[in-house]
Structure 1
């Protein structure tokens, strides 16, 4: 085959590719069912269980949460709860930080890497920003704040908690709020706001608007959704809205005689 023939074949092949041909065919059709080897079975290997299969029986989380009469009992219930695969990939459970019974309870989304290592919520860079934000209106986790998350275990890679995971741990979170008995509840970010308020609206629409939740034991608690500090680190321009929300919280606490700020 000379060079001109080779160039002609290449040009013909290019034209077929341009026309959408994506496999080679013989001049005559081939019956591939003749003398076909028997199908091979894939070796039996244990399949990974989907999260739904790892979930506990319906109502198990709710029953465990309802049976906790104190915060320590709730912590123990969560420690023993094996209904989520998150506990297998996390280093430790993150339950709470701050002062139990404090007037202001802050609920975040889920532990990050720093929280996973230390076993406390809001201790990373975003937690340091949160401390400075509340300090600007005279509040600290050493005296007036109690902090928790929707999820007690870190999702792998710090991913956003899924809807099924949030639903699974919601009974524990609601019981946590009821036992902590805060005077005001601050929901930091999309996940806690949507979970406790039962809405699909995003935090940009919810933030700064006072609402309320009723706990399972009948407490009615004022709620203020705000931006998560991690969001503020990524979007510094939103700090103006965050400052307005902090001032709104300060007025609410002062007018209600809850905290002398």
Structure 2
């Protein structure tokens, strides 16, 4: 009896579906009528305002690049208070030094690496036979945001800008100061290799502690001195 009942139920379901299929209902339906004969809609074209804006092209000469840093209103530093501290020193210098951003004392003095950190930095340069006038000195950011905090998008922009900067400055060696500078320009494990990738190729690079950290952690000076010795040995005599 049970098998006969199941068979009858299945036959009734098949007949019910066949009736609707003959009626032209062979798919799920809704309450709103659909015009199946209408032409397919044309693809929506993104308006020019909705498309992603490409970053402006950076100048491709050293002097034009420095002028662009000083004058371009789209630089992120224009959002921050204070007078910008722009790069100093010649192109094709024996050494280019890059720090992260001006310290509060730097903003007051109007130059990078001022105050006690600057005195220690000058001593570091003397240890390898150089002075400030010999080097090209720059920072990832040439002004200081409130609290010294920057957004990830600004760090990405600053890294790309610095790759162009290093290419145009064309120093013989590169010295990166501080953890934030190192992580931004040589991310992941690249800082273990003494090579920096810039827009025009590669160049030898060295990384060490920022003088501000050395002032608070004198024990780190021995490691810093070891790196400076390696830098001095690599420099053309």
Q: TM-score, normalised by structure 2?
A: 0.70
| Residue equivalent to 2:15 | none
- Give the conservation status (yes or no) of the 8 Å contact 1:110–1:149: yes
Q: Which structure has the bigger radius of gyration? A: 2
Counterpart secondary structure, 1:187: strand
Does the C-alpha gap of structure 1 residues 64 and 114 become closer, same or farther in structure 2, counting only changes over 3 Å?
farther
Structure 2 unaligned spans of 5+: 1-51
Structure 1 unaligned spans of 5+: 1-56
Does the C-alpha gap of structure 1 residues 150 and 135 become closer, same or farther in structure 2, counting only changes over 3 Å?
same
| Residue equivalent to 1:59 | 54
| Residue equivalent to 1:215 | 198
| Residue equivalent to 1:76 | 67
Q: TM-score, normalised by structure 1?
A: 0.64
Q: CA deviation at 1:92?
A: 1.5
**Are 2:219 and 1:224 aligned?**
no
Within 1, Cα distance between the matches of 2:99 and 2:220?
A: 18
Structure 1 runs of 4+ with >4 Å offset: none
- Give the conservation status (yes or no) of the 8 Å contact 1:99–1:141: no
Counterpart secondary structure, 2:98: strand
- Give the conservation status (yes or no) of the 8 Å contact 1:94–1:153: yes
Any idea what the Cα deviations from partners look like across 1:163-199, whole Å, max 9, x if unmatched?
2221122222111101110111111111221122132
- Give the conservation status (yes or no) of the 8 Å contact 1:210–1:225: no
Any idea what the Cα deviations from partners look like across 1:130-170, whole Å, max 9, x if unmatched?
11111022111112x2110111211223x244422211222
**Are 2:143 and 1:141 aligned?**
no
Counterpart secondary structure, 2:133: coil
The counterpart of 1:150, out of the listed 125, 137, 140, is: 140
| Residue equivalent to 2:228 | 246
Does the C-alpha gap of structure 1 residues 80 and 187 become closer, same or farther in structure 2, counting only changes over 3 Å?
same
Counterpart secondary structure, 1:73: helix
Q: CA deviation at 1:58?
A: 4.5
Counterpart secondary structure, 1:142: helix
**How many residues are treated as equivalent by the alignment?**
186
Q: CA deviation at 1:100?
A: 2.8
**Are 2:167 and 1:178 aligned?**
yes
Any idea what the Cα deviations from partners look like across 1:79-112, whole Å, max 9, x if unmatched?
3333455424332222212333211111000012
Any idea what the Cα deviations from partners look like across 1:204-259, whole Å, max 9, x if unmatched?
xx5xx5521232123x2011111111111111111111111111111111xxxx1x
